[in-house]
Amino acid sequence: MKKYNNEYFLMHKDIPVALMNISVDGTLGRVRKNEEFAAHFPIGGQMNDMKMHDWWRDRAIPKTRHGAKSALQKLGYVSTGSALVNNLALSLSDCYWIRPREENIKWKDVNLFTNDFVDTFGEITLNRDFMVDIRKETRFNCATSQGELQKKWCVASDGRHYMIKGNYGDSYQQSLNEFFASKLHEQQGFTKYTPYQLVKLQVEGGVEGLGCMSYDFCSENIECISAWELLQTVKIKQNESYFYPFKQVCMNLGMPEEEFDHFMDYQIMTDYLISNTDRHMNNIAVMRNPDTLKLLGFAPIFDSGNSMFYNLSYDALTKVRLDEIRTHSFIEKEIRLLQYVKDRSVVDIKKAEMDFSIYKKDVHERHIRIPLLQDLYERKCISLKSFQNGKNIWK
């Protein structure tokens, strides 16, 4: 493991946007901006130093990710922050990285989009022993990625990057939910979504299990900025919904209002159908060109696994009240998210009929849940149809 002194340039590709002091454990100290390239400074850290420190901390793999503690020990890191520094804060979501002040290395030498790598951290956290993926070939050190679910970045034989995700607990439903959501978007004829496929992987005890995979929608020419990062550029009143501040930031960056409305209308209504309770501000993002800084629109819908009541027991499923579902999004009550929808016809209910046999791929003990999941989904369709016919169903 190579050790560096504590001064690093924060780079945007080959543009030095700041000189930073970073301790061995990844703690950010003094940050000196390069005013010549102020436009390339991370959006989330532009308001003040505190925001910049938050941006840096958010870049690390979450400590709460399943298996993170044991993975850190095996790899010899004292913290996820030290892992971040040792791997030069490289990511497969954007073009930022850190260059040790005394090193003369270039973006082309280290970036994960064009260089081979092995996501060693992902290897260990996805399974403590090993996992079997569909390519069996991964090649560098771990990239940064958000989220608490076990994840692993891989390189396909054609050079494309893909992420494999596991599940919480003994069920495979989160992966099945990603596939289910992909089918819904496909049937709707909506193209701005991330397709997920199911993959076999080996879980603890040598048992063959299910995960899911999706290809990276970022590249050297497209980087991703989360809604949460964009919201760090504005002051939000206490108890104010993030929706309208987020919309204003997007429009200030050049997004047409009709583009914002169309995407959000669709996402809110399809999330409602699948009961996705985890559309938080890191699960919504925009894309931009890292060279011109031009906004390219919304990132395709991703991370829909925490849906379809995946974490409810059979008994709890029988007691669900559709008007009382809580969500982690712009507003706490799911049904009230529909208040933000402008065009109620964006989703075609006639194309929302779904095949629930996919859930038979879950562990056998969960098959008893399938009729209840289908009933709840069909009730959601009836409710959304009523909404589309003009009824404000949250009242």
Instruction: Evaluate if residue 370 carries a pLDDT over 90.
Output: yes
- pLDDT value for 79: 66
Q: What's at 258, amino acid-wise?
A: E
**Strand partners for 31:** 20
Residue recorded with tokens 């009929």: 353
Q: Distance between the two ends of the chain, CA-based, in angstroms?
A: 59
Instruction: Evaluate if residue 289 carries a pLDDT over 80.
Output: yes
Separation of alpha carbons 269 and 265, rounded Å: 6
Does an H or E element contain 250, and which?
Answer: helix 243-252
Instruction: Give the 3-state secondary structure of residue 340.
Output: helix
Residue recorded with tokens 């696994």: 305
Separation of alpha carbons 21 and 13, rounded Å: 19
Q: How confident is the model at residue 141 (pLDDT cuts 50, 70, 90)?
A: very low
Report phi then psi at 49, rounded to 5.
-65, -35
Instruction: Give the 3-state secondary structure of residue 64.
Output: coil
Instruction: Give the 3-state secondary structure of residue 224.
Output: strand
Q: Does domain 223-388 have CATH number 3.20.20.70?
A: no
Separation of alpha carbons 179 and 80, rounded Å: 30
Specify whether the CB–CB gap between 143 and 117 falls below 8 A.
Answer: yes
Q: How confident is the model at residue 260 (pLDDT cuts 50, 70, 90)?
A: very high
Separation of alpha carbons 85 and 65, rounded Å: 18
Nearest to 187 by CA among 296, 280, 309, 274: 274
- The DSSP call for residue 95 is S
pTM of the model: 0.88
Instruction: Evaluate if residue 168 carries a pLDDT over 90.
Output: no
Specify whether the CB–CB gap between 201 and 127 falls below 8 A.
Answer: yes
Q: How confident is the model at residue 61 (pLDDT cuts 50, 70, 90)?
A: low
Q: How confident is the model at residue 153 (pLDDT cuts 50, 70, 90)?
A: confident
Q: How confident is the model at residue 60 (pLDDT cuts 50, 70, 90)?
A: confident
Contacts with 256 (C-beta within 8 Å, 6 or more apart), sequence order? none
Specify whether the CB–CB gap between 331 and 337 falls below 8 A.
Answer: yes
Handedness of CA 113, 119, 121, 123 (dihedral sign): positive
Q: What's at 326, amino acid-wise?
A: R
* Domains of the chain by residue range: 7-110, 120-215, 223-388
Q: Looking at residues 31-45, what average pLDDT do you find?
A: 97
Contacts with 77 (C-beta within 8 Å, 6 or more apart), sequence order? 83, 86
Lowest pLDDT segment from 53-57, 149-153, 191-195, 204-208: 204-208
Separation of alpha carbons 31 and 361, rounded Å: 50
Contacts with 36 (C-beta within 8 Å, 6 or more apart), sequence order? none
Q: How far is CA 275 from the centre of its chain?
A: 17
